[in-house]
């Protein structure tokens, strides 16, 4: 469903399992920190809302969105995580760089999900401009970080 038709922060909390015994890894890109910081805050707040203990939420940063693949892979090697969440933001520019990064990260995260026993949750915003990113990082369309936290809890329980 298109984000314009669904607020990323709207969900039925009764359908979210208790996360009090779960451990989460979060890998966050440093690029576009206004956006990724808001995604991270939404993600952590939602994990804690559903019972995750602060000491069971481990956050690591990587320089940019392409490095999310490596960071997530390293976290999947640690048997202690129930789910790993990647958070990043790529905003379209004047060159094809946007297309290569978005495609590479998408394929990399898909590969990790197909080859590991730990779910890796895709939290990469791919927007045409900064306002679209703001709208999806706590703005009028909710927060993709909230959605990723809910997905991580559900997939960890899967």
Alpha-carbon Rg for the chain, nearest whole angstrom, is 15
CA distance 44 to 146: 8
CA distance 158 to 154: 6
Active site residue 58: no
Consecutive H or E run containing 126: strand 120-127
Contact between 9 and 150 (Cβ < 8 Å) = no
Q: Exactly one of 6, 50, 73, 97 is catalytic; name it.
A: 97
Active site positions, annotated: 97
């Amino acid at each position: 469903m298109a984000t314009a038709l669904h607020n990323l922060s709207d969900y039925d909390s009764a359908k979210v399992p208790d996360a009090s015994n779960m451990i989460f890894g979060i890998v966050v890109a440093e690029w576009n920190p206004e956006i990724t910081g808001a995604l991270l805050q939404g993600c952590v707040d939602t994990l804690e809302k559903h019972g995750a203990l602060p000491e069971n939420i481990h956050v690591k940063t990587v320089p940019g969105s392409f490095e999310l693949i490596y960071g997530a892979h390293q976290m999947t090697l640690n048997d202690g995580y129930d789910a790993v969440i990647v958070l990043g933001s790529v905003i379209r520019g004047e060159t094809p760089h946007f297309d290569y990064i978005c495609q590479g990260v998408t394929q990399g995260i898909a590969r990790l999900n197909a080859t590991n026993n730990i779910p890796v949750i895709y939290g990469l915003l791919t927007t045409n401009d900064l306002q679209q990113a703001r709208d999806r990082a706590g703005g009028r369309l909710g927060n993709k970080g909230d959605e990723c936290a809910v997905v991580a809890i559900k997939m960890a329980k899967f």
